[in-house]
Chains A and B, each alone.
Chain A
Amino acid sequence: MKPYQYFWQLIKFRPRYYVTDVITFTLHAAAGTALGLILRAYFNYLTGEPGLALTVGQVAAAQFGYAFVAAAALAAAALAFINFEFHGMALLIRNMMARVWEMPAADPLPRHPDGHRLSSGEVMSTLRDDPELMLQAIVVIDDVIGFGVSAIIALGVMLSINPWVTVGTFLPLALVIALARRLGERARRYRQASREATSRVTGMIADIFNATQAIKVADAEERIIAHFRQLNDARRQAMVKDQVLERTVEALSNGTVDVGMGLVLLLAAQAMAAGSFTVGDFALFAAYIWPMTQVMRVAGTVITRYKQVGVSTVRLDAMMQGLPAGAVAAHHPIYMDGNLPELPYTPKTPQHRLQTMTVRDLSYIYPDSGNGIRHIHLDVPRGSFTVITGRIGSGKTTLLKALLGLLPAQSGEIRWNGERVADPASFFTPPRCAYTGQTPRLFSDSLRHNILLGLPEARVDLDGAIYHAVMAPDVADMEQGLDTLVGPRGVRLSGGQIQRAAAARMFVRQPELLVFDDLSSALDVETERQLWERLFAAASGAERPTCLVVSHRRAALRQADQIILLQDGQVAARGPLATLLAQSPEMQQLWQES
């Protein structure tokens, strides 16, 4: 898709802001042509030459009139444009983030053309810069329209005075556009190189600050910074090229117009000597050099800018992974004013009830390594406790993720109460299912909001969830209780507290199926014992939750109704612990080591 099609989509998104911007900016630019006419009338008055002449008083009045119109129109245009720009950027960011949630959540970011998975730091530079570049490229169109209209007016006036001199002034225009066109392709390449160099720098900063403790511990600060300086220098080289080319194109258009002014001098010489071209006419031509400069500057940059923005459209499209080009600019509500959307809350109803879940022939192979899981069968009846175990790399986590749709399974069928689950990723969500991974993430917000994540507090059992997660004493110890801010990624909490907060987050949703991956890895013996105890206590009640867990802990294995033992991505054995211990050497070994 061509950039103009994105422009059009974005313009249609907020047509009122855009049209206001174009009209007021055009008015502002067109008002500028009055200046030349006023000046000509003034010189005609001074020298007594023929043509429209105005007295000093009239000239002053006209001048003030111009100022009022031009200033008011410019202010209106600036306000309309930032409204347009910030709404458009909000839409692009919204669409990219919405697409992230539609992707397999274990792997939500797009790939670079060279095949590597983009890091969040690299994606951040797309989210931050490309929407802005896109919207600012659209402002060039306003310039084209505004200055274009004023150029047509100016051209008409100049032609009526002296066509020969006028044509001489405009000749360089064709030259500029031709040159700019030739430089455009190169400008695009330079821009791409500089954007990539920038991504590498931002990616490295993200790496550095995600690993601050590791760097400090290893006393690697200086070495990291030395590496960072190298990336910075590569970026400098790319940036200098990019900027010099852009300035050259710009200087070229400005410079050519200066040459045009020289041409006016040369061409008007004869007419002035002959008396057919007055000082007033000359003042008018000279006054129109400025708006003409603007037209030609814009004409020169519009093509390079347009090609440069092509790089942004490719990067923006890449974020929409698999959707047709242009989806990034599709219209959706962005709630810039008025009420924010109601948060949907689905209370648990009998239709969510799990009787039995069956998995047949589930496979997921990582494209990079060729590892994964193959042909997994699994039956999870209501109220059962299923433990998936196996060595590291045997595919335990992969199995959970492929089942829940966090990774896109390459084959397999999942049935819930006998009915086929078409889209696991959206099906396995509360109140049907909730999941906690190995290293759960919290977000910069209060503990309360991290647990609720938008659930209506009045309609859920927050205290109960905190109790079951063995978190109540911790919360009681916190000065601000549930309103404690957990810091970025939850760093103000201990590792164990993060895991239990994540468990509470899962419990408060009261899902039919609880899925968790090595939940207790950061918990001490006592806390872990309480957690299992409370879970199993609930499990023996009237409404037993169904659990599917990855663990190699004896406490869990012993409780299991069935154990699925994975080996190299395949089910090596299954059954209750006693059976497996009796029959599977692999299980015997694991049991001994645990």
Chain B
Amino acid sequence: MESERQTYGRLLATYLRPQRGRVALLALLMVGGIGLQLANPQLVRRFIDTAQTGGSLNQLLGAGAIFMSLAVARQLLQIVATYVGENVAWTATNALRADLAGHCLRLDMSFHKVHKPGELIERVDGDVNKLANFFSRLVIRLASNLLLLAGVLALLWALDWGVGLAITLISLAGAVYLRHLNQRIVPRWEGLRQSEASLFGHLEEWLNGAEDIRSNGATAYIMQRLHRLSRARWLSMRHAMRLNVFVITLPITLFTLAYVAAHVLGNTLFRNGALSIGSIYLIFYYIDVIKGPLWEILRQVEDLQRAAASLNRVADLLAQQPTIVDGRGADLGVGALAVSCDNVSFHYADAPEQPALADVAFHLAAGRVLGLLGRTGSGKTTLTRLLFRFYDPTQGAITLNGVDIRAATQRQLRQRIGMVTQEVELFHASVRDNLTLFDPAMPDARIKQVVQEVGLAEWLDGLPDGLDTPLAGSHSLSAGQAQLLAFARVFLADPGLVVLDEASSRLDPATEQLVERAMTRLLAGRTAIIVAHRLGTVQRADEIMILEQGRVIEHGERARLAADAGSRFFQLLQTGMEEAMA
């Protein structure tokens, strides 16, 4: 409970401090509203007592007119407060959204292996939406409602201590009971949020896998899973609501108690002449005044509970730390990078007894091209992941130009290495942003030159708004064009080491030719590691390295290995040659 409150406090401090002025203005508007709300009933008491004691009509009309103007003023204050409050809320939650998205991006790939994009949408947007309430209405309104409650109680105590005590006790009893309910209901709201995240996470996956589902005749199966998830969502809501009805009916109980107390005490106080009839009426009026806030406090506490569930999940997410720790920073030099693997061993955290890499050692001089071969699962992809520090070796070290990559920052490292993977991810953004990955500083001339170099110039010329044309999903690019675009990205980043992971596997020969030409330019003056399953792709390699079950089983000059009848590479070439001659 305590730590939860600390989390609330920390988030509030972080995201509201930059808007101190606006928050203060909001508080001012709220306090002004409360003042008006406390003052108005006094006018009614005066009105009744004046009427009962036979005051003049003008006095009565005057009280009525003031009442009306204050009512109008209060509504105006509320509209202004909404404007300020919404701005505060969205500014704060937008900052949180961006921070959260950035934080998730910085987390290890092992995190992204287990969290679906749909689930992260739920977390980064859905949970934060629930928090939007928390930032605007909730905290400030809750405070102002509590202030209003305190004001009313103080006025009731001033009127008569018995009445003040009774209403205070009833309010306290309500608060204690509510707190008790809260503690039991939060886990239920959390359960609801989880079942919703699961439902929407699956929906997103299915939308992207429609071809696989249709063509395997699996729609009935998927619909059955949908029914299951929808049912789970409803049941978790019902589970929460069954407890929540006690929360929403609490005001009725509290008011009945307060009214009965006022009836009994009011009767005595009026009979013994302690209070005027107008003052008796004022007791009921003030109870009515706190009716609104009490309802609202309850609603807000309900929101707060929902927000608490979201908040816990957001805090959980923020508390996840990347296990890859940035190095202190080291200069990796300019130009092509020399790569060394120093007895590197590695296993994934979820499979500790299954080494993905074992004692891998090699040196690749600057400017050389290494062809990396091996079966699926032999460790090729793992090795490239280690190069980018998606994971750190369990033993040994990788150095670039003699510098341990763990000494450099990830930024320094990734600015010096580029990668092209088989799967090219596109953004719903302009062609320019897709090419530069949102780098507005990249000059158009440079972009166009690179587009020319990779052979996409014709395609770009055909676009209506050139670089500003929005790329709407992967529909507007063929797989080959997407591949070329990925090449352009690496060209623009101008790294000293390029990793090509199965880059050409989806290209047909003609486009591969186009890519080969671009690649020749790209590799000039750079070191390269080409991961490929096909022999044709490694023809440009200076050296060949073959992995098997995480171990280097062969490494040497391509020309030498190709000529050595005893080498594994020679045998692979034979398979290829045999194929070619049949």
Contacts and interface: CB of A to CB of B under 8 A. Distances in A.
A226 B288 CA distance: 49
Residue from A93, A120, A236 with most neighbouring chain B CB atoms (10 Å): A120
A46 B472 contact: no
A349 interface: no
Interface stretch (B264-272, B305-313, B332-340): B264-272
Contacts of A124: 118, 121, 200, 203-204, 207
Given A454-B218, A522-B502, A261 B231 contact: no
Interface string B250-291: 001101100110011011001000000100110011001001
Contact of A46 (B205, B228, B266, B505): B266
Given A70-B252, A79-B241, A527 B234 contact: no
Contact of B510 (A261, A272, A392): A392
Contacts of B410: 219
B330 interface: no
B215 interface: yes
Given A127-B203, A266-B64, A438-B506, A221 B102 contact: yes
Contacts of B260: 59-60, 63-64
Nearest to B476: A368
A464 to B, nearest CB: 17
Nearest to A119: B473
Contacts of A47: 277
B68 interface: yes
Contact of B212 (A89, A121, A286, A437): A437
Given A108-B210, A221-B105, 13 more contacts: A78-B244, A86-B238, A94-B227, A209-B112, A215-B437, A261-B67, A262-B67, A279-B48, A286-B44, A343-B220, A369-B476, A552-B509, A593-B513
Interface in A484-502: 487-489, 491-492, 494-497, 502
A561 to B, nearest CB: 16
Interface string B206-233: 1111111111111111111011101101
A341 B212 contact: no
A215 B270 CA distance: 76
Contacts of A227: 429, 433, 438
B504 to A, nearest CB: 10
Interface in B558-582: 572, 575-576, 579-580, 582
Classify chain B: how many residues form its interface, as a range. Answer: 35 or more
B150 interface: no
A429 B215 contact: yes
Classify chain A: how many residues form its interface, as a range. Answer: 35 or more
Contacts of A207: 425-429
Contact of A521 (B201, B222, B505): B505
Interface string B310-354: 000000000000000000000000000000000000000001001
Q: Is the interface of B mostly helix, strand, loop or mixed?
A: helix
A97 interface: yes
Contact of B57 (A127, A270, A429, A497): A270
A128 B238 contact: no
Contacts of A247: 78-79, 82
Contacts of B506: 438, 518, 521
A243 B135 CA distance: 15
Interface in A101-120: 101, 103, 105-109, 116-117, 119-120
Contacts of B210: 100-101, 103, 105-106, 108
B176 interface: no
A392 B274 CA distance: 96
A585 to B, nearest CB: 13
Contacts of B230: 86, 89-90, 93-94, 334, 336
Contacts of A185: none
Interface string B75-90: 1001100110011001
A283 interface: yes
Contact of B437 (A223, A394, A435, A506): A223
A343 B509 contact: no
B177 to A, nearest CB: 14
B489 A218 contact: yes
Nearest to A368: B476
A101 B206 CA distance: 10
Interface in A208-224: 208-224
B205 A272 contact: no
A298 B374 CA distance: 69
Contacts of B509: 391, 552, 589-590, 593-594
Given A56-B263, A224-B105, A489-B205, A98 B223 contact: yes
